[in-house]
Structure 1
Amino acid sequence: MTVLPILSWLLILAAFAGAGYALVAAGFAGRFKASAIAPLTEYPSITILKPLHGDEPGLEENLASFFVQDYPAPFEIVFGVQDPNDAALAVVERLKARFPNINTITVVDGARAGTNPKVANLLNMEKAIRHQVIVLSDADIAVEADYLRRIASALAPEDVGGVTCLYTGFAAAGRVSQLSAMGASYQFLPNVIMGLGLKMAQPCFGSTIAFKRSLFESWGGFLPFKDQLADDHAMGMAVRNAGLILAIPPFAVRHAAVETGWGEWFTHELRWMRTIRTVDPGGHAGSFITHAFPLSLLGLIVALAAQSGPLDAAWGAVVATLLARVMLKWRLDAIFGKPAGPFWLLPFRDVFSFCVFLTSLFGGAVVWQNERLAVLKDGALKARS
């Protein structure tokens, strides 16, 4: 047997394995269907931290979802920007006018500690924290009205030190952002669910990171994370290193995909993939098998090139992987409620994901808030000259 048929068979087998992976992930997803909230006898006061950088599609409504919380204890929202001319400030002022009864604080401070721009912003906001629980959430996240109740309930047990949340994607800016949203819902989310189901992952997401304030202060606040690319992962590890649980309650928040151009989309996803490679290099390499449909296409192409290759098996792999991916999308949409995009775009999204994955295997630079940064072996960021 020549090299091409062997290569074709390897790709076909990997594709079938990827189809099986998708179906198992669909099964595990049921564990994260939103359930009834366990009521508390006493609810803690909460400070919500929202680091901002510029206006973006859907920003006002995403932030507004935090103002309309059905929460029986005091909560405040702290916004932070580093540029006094930041366009996000106008959005914040409109929200203050819309919701005058919600306590809000705006921190405008250009001080820059470390190389991680978001953590530099958070360090400046840290002095405004007043309440028992700290909830950090990225600007592009939208939540339901019971969000704070769910966070407080999950954080209540004594052995729980923090809470993070799964997230699905939704498009806020057209077709490119729709493809980005589908990547979050149908590529990233299944991998997380699978890792949790097999007890092989310890994730923490910027969609939500909630801490008990006493624990947060014990490790020195945000300062230890000032140079970390994967700051959310590092915060989660700080909770676990304290001997406490980082809980992931059964529901998902929504992440707004705001990319409007292909270059913006590619640099964002490449940073995301390289972050995963930094945090979990073995898992990142192993995620090769999750790209089932592109692998089946490669297997078919190689089989056609070999002429005597396993064409029937290759076509079978293409059909099987498409069906498995469609089943996974249907299952996730049913559990989490809101589709990120149409079925017909899924094959294209899968091919794009595979291309970004291959690119992420090489190089170590990322682009973040228009800065080009080098990623060191320990996950720290360094400014590139």
Structure 2
Amino acid sequence: MTSHVNCLLTWLLVALCCATTLYAAVAAIAMPFFSRRSRNRNIGWASVSVLKPLCGIEPRLYENLVTFCAQAHPCFQLLFGVSSPVDPAIAVVRRLQAAYPHCDIELVVDSRVHGSNLKVSNLINMAERARHDIIVLADSDIAVEPDYLDTVTAPLADPDTGVVTCLYRAQSVGGFWPRVGAMFINEWFAPSVRVAHAGGSRRFGFGATLALRRATLDGIGGFEALKDCLADDYWLAEHARTLGLHTVLSPVMVATDVIEPTFTTLWLRELRWLRTIRSVNPPGFASLIITFTAPWLMIGAALLLSTNNADGAALHPWMALILWISTLTGTIARILLHARSARYSRSFWHDLPLVPFRDTLLALQWLAAVFGSHVVWRGARMSVVNRVTQPRTSIMEMSDRG
């Protein structure tokens, strides 16, 4: 009986090792190189209101915000919002207004709190000042290219499109831990989204960019519907999907900064991401177990090394052959994924020794994310339980109003 159980357990481990190899291979193929490419542009030059919620100073805040002032789009409004009149980000916005007097830049200082999500409270306060029918939300720590607004708003020409969102690549700002954090985004998060997208999933929405029509926002109940949600970006897109509208993944990949200087700050940030995924998609969270490539490759290698153990409990020849092929293929696929996720050739060699460490740390964070009901976001403790308000308008009602 014990021998039978051990055999089943071994086959289960082999199956998980093979599934991990398959994931790594698909992810390596699905993840594009970081290079410029032609993109769809222009929806008839519709005017755009860009909402940028701010909270405090980040190392490259001014440089990142400048990229929004340098857009090729002919008519756009930049709305920056803070909740405190002494927020240091105010000085950065004033500097932008002086440097770009031709840009329509407005600062909203409003301390009203509408729910547990302070970012959404900021958006509610800012939305009152948005003048245009196309709305783009973008996090404070991203940088974009001049054709960004043209490209991310183009799919909204299709009336069946509800939300357009963007993936992002990370650039480390600082020392060792920001490098590790950038690998979390570039070599795990972005590839996993690409794999899910290639498999037909559209259940996502990322705070780096969310573009939608004002009518869609009104149809879901405005930002007020998200005021008590931790994963506000996901739920914004999900609400639009419940109206029968599609989520489109833009070809644009914006840049985001990773600035966490210590292990503790990086752990808390990434644990927040994983617990957020668990809160909105438990089955998807469970399936992430096969995305931690290096630990499974090490388990496969350990099983192979045990074939000639002292007890004589050798692996079945077919099992050993499958493991050899899986481990070798998985190693090549993981290195290829690292290569395709590296922005510069020198970063490939620079960060290659970190790959096993990064994957193992991610596996430990996943285990930690299985438990716990709170996360830390900008120093505030928040529950991962989302109190979701359902959309108040159907797609038919939206069509009738149009």
Q: SS where residue 372 of structure 1 aligns?
A: strand
Inter-partner Cα distance in structure 2 for 1:65 and 1:41? 21
Could you tell me which residue of structure 2 aligns to residue 64 of structure 1?
Answer: 66
Matches within 5 A, 1:49-128: 49-71=51-73, 73-128=74-129
1:281-313 Cα offsets, whole Å, 9 max, x none, are 001101101112112224545776876566977
Answer yes or no: is the 8 Å Cα contact 1:225–1:231 preserved in 2.
yes
Change (3 A) 1:124 1:321: same
Inter-partner Cα distance in structure 1 for 2:378 and 2:40? 39
Q: 1:372 aligns with which of 371, 381, 384?
A: 381
Q: Cα distance, 1:280 vs. partner?
A: 0.9
Inter-partner Cα distance in structure 2 for 1:378 and 1:132? 28
Inter-partner Cα distance in structure 2 for 1:55 and 1:338? 30
Change (3 A) 1:310 1:114: farther
Inter-partner Cα distance in structure 1 for 2:43 and 2:371? 52
Q: Radius of gyration: which is bigger?
A: 2
Could you tell me which residue of structure 2 aligns to residue 359 of structure 1?
Answer: 368
Q: Cα distance, 1:347 vs. partner?
A: 1.9
Change (3 A) 1:187 1:211: same
Answer yes or no: is the 8 Å Cα contact 2:376–2:382 preserved in 1.
yes
More deviation, 270-279/311-320: 311-320
Residues 1:22 and 2:24 are matched in the alignment: yes
Q: SS where residue 249 of structure 1 aligns?
A: strand
Q: Cα distance, 1:374 vs. partner?
A: 2.2
The one-letter code matched in structure 1 to 2:363 is F
Could you tell me which residue of structure 1 aligns to residue 38 of structure 2?
Answer: 36
Inter-partner Cα distance in structure 1 for 2:12 and 2:212? 46
Unmatched 5+ stretches in structure 1: 381-385
Q: Tell me the TM-score normalised to structure 2 length.
A: 0.85
Q: SS where residue 20 of structure 1 aligns?
A: helix
1:107-150 Cα offsets, whole Å, 9 max, x none, are 11111111112101111111110112110001111111110110
Change (3 A) 1:78 1:378: closer
Could you tell me which residue of structure 2 aligns to residue 328 of structure 1?
Answer: 337
Answer yes or no: is the 8 Å Cα contact 1:174–1:260 preserved in 2.
yes
Q: SS where residue 67 of structure 2 aligns?
A: helix
The one-letter code matched in structure 1 to 2:229 is Q
Could you tell me which residue of structure 2 aligns to residue 279 of structure 1?
Answer: 280
Inter-partner Cα distance in structure 2 for 1:155 and 1:177? 35
Answer yes or no: is the 8 Å Cα contact 1:12–1:296 preserved in 2.
no
Unmatched 5+ stretches in structure 2: 390-402
Residue-pair matches, total: 378
Inter-partner Cα distance in structure 2 for 1:284 and 1:231? 18
Change (3 A) 1:303 1:58: same
Q: Cα distance, 1:7 vs. partner?
A: 4.5
1:147-200 Cα offsets, whole Å, 9 max, x none, are 011012222222222211111111123221111111111101111111111113
More deviation, 353-362/306-315: 306-315
The one-letter code matched in structure 2 to 1:375 is V
Inter-partner Cα distance in structure 2 for 1:118 and 1:141? 16
The one-letter code matched in structure 1 to 2:151 is R
Could you tell me which residue of structure 2 aligns to residue 383 of structure 1?
Answer: none
Could you tell me which residue of structure 2 aligns to residue 133 of structure 1?
Answer: 134
Inter-partner Cα distance in structure 2 for 1:241 and 1:338? 45
Change (3 A) 1:377 1:229: closer
Inter-partner Cα distance in structure 2 for 1:338 and 1:113? 47
Q: Cα distance, 1:17 vs. partner?
A: 1.8
Change (3 A) 1:345 1:82: same
Q: Cα distance, 1:28 vs. partner?
A: 2.8
Could you tell me which residue of structure 2 aligns to residue 349 of structure 1?
Answer: 358
Q: SS where residue 150 of structure 1 aligns?
A: helix
Change (3 A) 1:38 1:377: closer
The one-letter code matched in structure 1 to 2:66 is A
Inter-partner Cα distance in structure 1 for 2:228 and 2:210? 18
Q: Cα distance, 1:360 vs. partner?
A: 0.5
Could you tell me which residue of structure 1 aligns to residue 396 of structure 2?
Answer: none
More deviation, 259-268/18-27: 18-27
CA RMSD of aligned residues (A): 2.8
More deviation, 368-377/195-204: 368-377
Change (3 A) 1:178 1:141: same
The one-letter code matched in structure 2 to 1:220 is G
Inter-partner Cα distance in structure 1 for 2:329 and 2:41? 44
Inter-partner Cα distance in structure 1 for 2:92 and 2:365? 33
Inter-partner Cα distance in structure 2 for 1:52 and 1:310? 59
Q: Cα distance, 1:315 vs. partner?
A: 7.5
Q: SS where residue 48 of structure 1 aligns?
A: strand
Change (3 A) 1:30 1:180: closer
Percentage of pairs with the same residue: 36
Matches within 5 A, 1:210-221: 210-221=211-222
Matches within 5 A, 1:191-206: 191-206=192-207
Inter-partner Cα distance in structure 2 for 1:52 and 1:99? 19
Q: SS where residue 31 of structure 2 aligns?
A: helix
